[in-house]
Amino acid sequence: DQQVKQNSPSLSVQEGRISILNCDYTNSMFDYFLWYKKYPAEGPTFLISISSIKDKNEDGRFTVFLNKSAKHLSLHIVPSQPGDSAVYFCAALGGGGADGLTFGKGTHLIIQP
């Protein structure tokens, strides 16, 4: 039973445009959400996070939005750059179980020139 879902395995966006990556969750006890970026054969790199008491957090080109009532969060990247091409993982913490993160399966973002 997947508690964190990223329903788009891949997303293609033109360079300079906005990339929007989506994530849904089912466990209402999650209280902290994170986005990680991952290149092949490397570890995930932390991008941005948001606490459940907020609905938006911004860091440079990256903005995360949280809609608690819909159990949905999204990552906006604007403008998209070639170096943004990677797999992006949504993760959540605080689901009432172990202290580790619960991850989605990832979305492969491809930035086209």
Closest distance to other proteins from the beta carbon of 103 (Å): 3
Tell whether the torsion through CA atoms of 4, 8, 12 and 16 is positive or negative.
Answer: negative
Q: How many CB atoms lie within 10 A of CB 48?
A: 18
- As given in the structure block, the two tokens for residue 28 are 């209402």
Which one among 1, 42, 69, 113 touches other proteins, defined by CB under 8 A?
42
**Binding of other proteins at residue 21 (CB under 8 A)?**
no
- As given in the structure block, the two tokens for residue 12 are 């293609």
**Binding of other proteins at residue 109 (CB under 8 A)?**
no
The residues binding other proteins (CB under 8 A) are: 4, 9, 31-32, 34, 36, 41-46, 49, 51, 89, 91, 93, 97-106
